[in-house]
Amino acid sequence: MHLPNLSRWRAFASPRYRPFQAIATGQAFTGSYASDALFVPLLLRLGAPPELVILVGSFPVAASVVQALAPQILRRMGGNLRRLTLLLTLAELRGFAHAAVVAAIASGLISAPVGIVLVSATVAIGQTAGVLSASNINLWAAVVLPDQERRLVGPRMGAMNMALSTLLLLPAGAVLDAGLRSIGLWTYAGFFAVGGLVSILTPLAVARLPYPGRVLVKTGEEPAEPLPEEFRRFTTATAVASLGQGLIPYLSLYAMQVLGASAGFAVILSGSASAGALAGSLTTGAFLLRGSSSRVLRLSFLARSVAAVICALAIPGNPAALPMLVLGSALFNGAGNAGALAANERLYRLAPPDLRVRCQSYYVGATSAAFAVGALACGAALAVSAVVGWPVYTALFVGSGVSRAIGGLRTDVSPSWQSPTAPPADQI
């Protein structure tokens, strides 16, 4: 890592950014020990069908389409972004709810089918609020931080989150398999409880962020400035790619249901995803300070198409199927995290400061709706997979790859890899 990047990490480590560091830590534990890395193998163990697992896991991202109503919600709350975000961050504590449900199943207080319903409800409500919370925290940072500080903080929060997630998930796979053999479902309860405990950091840290003031947007009868056409084209291209994101079944689901992998391997897949995301974050965060966000975004879409092809080739009978899934997972998430950083940077470069709330709401609404369509198609396809078999998964991987490729080709890019809107060298 070259010296300028180290200096930026030292800047991020300053006390001024402690709340952002704590948020990244809390979100890492929530994402590792209270999200799909664990609830996917848990639901399968409890007897949930694959299509239900897909729909449950996809619901939070699809439901975040309500972010399109953020201007109206903020107006009803008097522009109080702080209160809205604090309420949403309480969902980061959902690990406690998961732990309570699993403990009740393990104790015989409730049946497995009831447990499936309760876990699914916790995921649907808790992770939806968590997605909206993360979106609002990004908006909050864009409101209170100058652009050069936002470019410093955002990528390093993501890198810190992914580094912790990798360290938490990779050994957790072996611990989970050993625990399931010795104490059964109580192993899941322990992981969920740890996730909930450390996730308390998130709402506490959000409460310490600089006050964002009143964030109000013109709505209703008031004349509203049209969104920039270039921003609309960017959103359309990203929405096409989001359709492909929805089409992808959980790789852990495919590994367990089709390739016969263990629950621990499913967690290791999530760890490899975090490792890939970390690499994407470290590489892209530094580049985006002065580089072209549009070109990084296009490249990330094309890289995710390659990842889809790798996963499509991980068919039963292929002796390298499981390692290929690990590689595909790392590439999917490395390119995905790079693409998310590039898309976020692209959004704020294209959105005028007084239109940022509207632009973010429009963008999240469009991409979430496209994801929902893809997820519904994925769930419907998996419903017939019991008859057709593993080729259904292969078709979904291929469909996702095609969608990402189309999104990449439709992305407008700058003339060079140098950003025309990059800040001067003395401001980064």
Q: Could you read off the pLDDT of 191-234 as tens digits, one per residue? A: 999 999 999 999 999 999 888 877 765 555 445 567 888 999 99
Where does residue 285 fall: left (phi above 0), alpha (psi -120 to 50 degrees), or beta otherwise? alpha
Q: Mean pLDDT over residues 117-127, rounded?
A: 93
Residue with tokens 């992981």: 191
Q: Of 157, 90, 84, 49, which Cα lies nearest the Cα of 361?
A: 84
In a domain, 3, yes or no: no
Between CA 66 and CA 184 the distance in angstroms is 38
CA 296, 298, 299, 303 torsion-angle sign: positive
Does the predicted TM-score (pTM) go above 0.85? no
Residue 428 has pLDDT above 60, yes or no: no
pLDDT at 68 over 70: no
User: Does some domain include residue 222?
Assistant: no
Does some domain include residue 175?
Answer: yes
372-422 pLDDT tens trace = 899 889 988 988 877 778 899 999 999 999 999 999 999 988 888 876 655
Whether residue 84 contacts residue 73, with contact meaning beta carbons closer than 8 Å, is answered with yes
Residue 180 forms part of a structural domain:
yes
CA 412 – CA 12 distance, rounded (Å): 32
Tell whether 310 is covered by a domain: yes
Higher-pLDDT residue of 317, 81:
317
Residue 1 has pLDDT above 50, yes or no: no
Summarised one tens digit per residue, pLDDT across range 129-185 is 888 888 888 878 878 888 788 878 888 888 898 889 989 998 898 999 999 999 999
Whole-number pLDDT of residue 427: 43
Asked if residue 165 lies in contact with residue 36, where contact means CB atoms within 8 angstroms, the answer is no
Integer Cα distance of 22 and 18 in angstroms: 6
Integer Cα distance of 87 and 169 in angstroms: 28
pLDDT for the residue 111 = 96
Give the per-residue pLDDT at 85.
86
Highest mean pLDDT among 267-276, 316-325, 338-347, 411-420: 316-325
Around Cβ 116, how many Cβ atoms within 10 Å? 21
Give me the number of domains the chain comprises. Answer: 1
Nearest 10 degrees: Cα torsion 159, 164, 168, 171: 70
Mean pLDDT computed over every residue of the chain: 86
Please, are residues 153 and 336 in contact by the beta-carbon 8 Å criterion?
no
Report if residue 195 sits inside a domain. yes
**Local structure of 420: helix, strand or coil:** coil
Assigned domain for 9 exists: no
Write down the residue that tokens 């980061």 correspond to. 92
CA-nearest of 368, 428, 300 to 134 is: 368
Strand partners, 214: 80
Q: Report residue 369's pLDDT band, with 50, 70 and 90 as the boundaries.
A: confident
Q: Which domain holds residue 354?
A: 16-216+228-422
What CATH code is carried by the domain that includes residue 81? Answer: 1.20.1250.20
In a domain, 418, yes or no: yes
Once rounded to an integer, what is the mean pLDDT over residues 237-261?
91
